[in-house]
Copies of this chain bind each other. A is one copy, B any other.
Amino acid sequence: MISKEDAGYILDERRCKLGLSWRDLARRLDRPPVWTAAAALGMHPIPEGEAEELRGALNLEDEIVDALVRQPTRSPSRDLSDDPTIYRFHELVQVYGPALKSLIHDEFGDGIMSAINCSITLERAAHPDGDRVVMTIDGKFLPYAWASSGEVGQEKTAAR
């Protein structure tokens, strides 16, 4: 029984050998590119239809398709946070996290930007000093709310 992570490594190798970009696969699945790459690398369960589409595009074995469909544990067995390309994102959160938190509280009140009801795009933007990566993270604001199933419509938020 192959893990979703190992299935992702194999799928990715297959994809590179075939010269297919993530956008190519995303178009084939009619899904956004970031979702497609994340799901194929093991971070989302892939619906059976899309999994079959990937099988066709990349000539995947049964056990890999099974792994793609499986519900993930989103807890990577190998911590990749010090890969330089990934580390820069964590560094941005270290440097700007307190400012973003304070701005969110300023404009929305006490709460968070959801990492579950959230989408991400990544685009290339031309610039005379060198092209730029433009990422947009678009997540639902969730206010701290002391709600319960038994007291519909009566919650009193914790906010100011």
Q: Residues on A close to B: CB < 8 A? A: 1, 9-10, 12-13, 16, 21-23, 31-35, 37-39, 41, 43-45, 47-48, 66, 69-71, 73-108, 110-122, 124-150, 152-153, 155-156, 158-160
Contact = CB atoms under 8 A, between A and B. Distances in A.
A85 B103 contact: no
Contacts of A105: 71, 85
B144 A44 contact: yes
A133 B108 contact: yes
Contacts of A47: 158-160
A38 B120 CA distance: 23
Contacts of A21: 106-107
A80 B103 contact: no
A147 B133 contact: no
Tell me the number of copies of this protein.
Answer: 10
Contacts of A145: 116-118
B122 A129 contact: no
Contact of A41 (B87, B98, B148, B156): B98
Contacts of A113: 85, 88-89, 133, 135
B133 A117 contact: no
Contacts of A22: 99, 102-103, 106
B104 A122 contact: yes
